[in-house]
Amino acid sequence: MASTKKVQELKKRREEVQRGGGEKAIQKQVAMGKMTARERIVKLLDEGSFNEYDLFVEHEARDFGMDQKTLHGDGVITGTGTIGGRPVCIFAQDFTVAGGSLGNMHARKITKIMDHSLKMRMPLIGINDSGGARIQEGVNSLAGYGEIFFRNTLASGVIPQISVILGPCAGGAVYSPALTDFVFVVENISKMFITGPEVIKTVLGEDISMEELGGARVHSEITGNAHFFSETEDECFEQIKSLLSYLPWSNTDVPARKELKDPLKKYNISHIVPADKKQPYDVRNVIRSVTDSSDFFEIQESWAANIVIGFGTMGGRTVGFVANQPLILAGVLDVDSSDKAGRFIRYCDAFNIPIITFVDLPGYLPGVDQEHAGVIRHGAKVLYAYSEATVPKITLILRKAYGGGYIAMNSRHLRADFVFAWPDAEVAVMGPEGATNIIFRKEIATAADPEKMRKQKVQEYKEKFANPYVAAAKGYIDSVIEPWETRKSLLHALEVSGEKSVGMPAKKHGIPPF
């Protein structure tokens, strides 16, 4: 048994280190509306579950007066714990200790817990709150970042990796979150940028605040770097717990089952989609009308909102949903929505999550801006991601499936396992008006009454092509179903594809257009 004296000494040492950067620095942290690193860990993990590693690690820097400084825990807290009873690895940078700056030992604490999470196959959660590379440690700090990026990449697609930005995350520090699967930001607290306002002022002579440059809203609405936005840290931690409830703990695992009730009556699927093809509607209500208890957890809600992605539960299992959103830009595919969908499809595929795709789009967004922004290169990501994915892939065409949009949105040709369509679906190279103007141009121009002729030709085209039956006759659509049959059909498709097994040609890896 340990002597009382030794136990007392341990307690004293622990208490001292756990005070982080001291009372003054903690008060500054609180005044900024932030929790301390230790409070964050305790809030996020199941009560009493945190098991801390490397509490007594100290920095080894000797230059610029560092030999005179003690940095408790070297500015980062690491360890394991549980969320919802399941094990996770976690680190939280402690801004009260040298601004949470990353030196050699700080990085080694992080890489040690990263190695642990990969070896033990459990999610890694990183809470970022740091002034970046510790300037006094020079290249050792840069080396530390490199070691972290390398491990993020190794772990990608093996275990879920979550980044939480709860303070500054500046310079190269941003690239660890960017390499992880999901990034969480909180209003007024998160600040993420490569070059800060001072550099911008010096180089470009422009004045900009940290908030305007890389605040939480910027990354949730403009850059797409963040996947989840919240107004408080508490709300953010609840979001993380919700997200984890949909995920498997590794790529050899399946998500835990959830017992939820049937869809709520308030989402009556027969009345959500207007018959008028030009009328918008919220496709999220279609998703909610087919999931258990209308369960839908949306990802990147405020960025590239012309496509909707997220997790829902069907028959107790996690499903990834990808859906064109007719409310925004008629649900077109463009540069950002292609990036958003492509990455999510690859996530689902890596983690054994079946994908359900709802289609209603006029095609890719036309225009010089999009062409010059690389809509060809970005749009190709969707084709690549669907073609490469080997998880069960189910498609439902709700209304329009025109042109490249039809092919890209998990068509049979990209190896959809099941393609359903509603009776109102239209599968064609383009919409009736556009098609008529092109293929009947001469007839319309030379007609005695061009407008009458145009209408007649539009009608002819609609009867011939603007329906699901031409595609169904070729077997590109497996089944035309009534809206009320949707949930039953999707559940059946999921059930019978539980043991899906397909081979891909042997290769080291593909070359996706990223």
Q: Quick one: 70 or 459, whose CB is closer to ligand HXC? A: 70
Q: C-beta of 148: minimal distance to ligand HXC in Å?
A: 9
Q: Which residues contact 230 (CB under 8 A, 6 or more apart)?
A: 184, 185, 186, 187, 236, 239
Q: C-beta of 101: minimal distance to ligand HXC in Å?
A: 4
Q: C-beta of 22: minimal distance to ligand HXC in Å?
A: 9
Tokens standing for 373? 């922004």
CB-based burial, 309-344: b 16+ in 10 Å, e otherwise: bbbbbbbebbbbbbbbbbebbbbbbbbbbbbbbbbb
Q: Quick one: 160 or 197, whose CB is closer to ligand HXC? A: 197
Checking DSSP bridges between strand 182-186 and strand 191-193, what pairing results, if any? unpaired
Q: Quick one: 156 or 245, whose CB is closer to ligand HXC? A: 156
Q: C-beta of 219: minimal distance to ligand HXC in Å?
A: 17
CA distance 273 to 277: 9
Q: What is the dihedral of CA 8, 9, 12, 18, to 10 degrees?
A: -120
Secondary structure (H, E, C), 436-495: HHHHCHHHHHHCCCHHHHHHHHHHHHHHHHCCCHHHHHCCCCCEECCHHHHHHHHHHHHH
147, burial (CB in 10 Å: exposed 0-12, middle 13-18, buried 19+): middle
Q: C-beta of 123: minimal distance to ligand HXC in Å?
A: 24
Q: C-beta of 11: minimal distance to ligand HXC in Å?
A: 27
Q: Quick one: 73 or 168, whose CB is closer to ligand HXC? A: 168
Q: C-beta of 99: minimal distance to ligand HXC in Å?
A: 2
Q: Quick one: 170 or 414, whose CB is closer to ligand HXC? A: 170
Neighbours of 120 (CB within 10 A): 13
Question: At 117, which helix (H) or strand (E)?
Answer: helix 104-119
Q: C-beta of 178: minimal distance to ligand HXC in Å?
A: 11
Amino acid, single-letter form, for residue 437: N
Which residues contribute to the site for ligand HXC (CB under 6 A)? 98-99, 101, 131-135, 142, 145, 168, 170-173, 196
Q: Check: CB of residue 114 under 8 Å from CB of residue 37.
A: no
Angle at 16 between CA 14 and CA 21, to 5 degrees: 125
Q: Quick one: 99 or 326, whose CB is closer to ligand HXC? A: 99
Q: Quick one: 146 or 315, whose CB is closer to ligand HXC? A: 146
Q: Quick one: 172 or 315, whose CB is closer to ligand HXC? A: 172
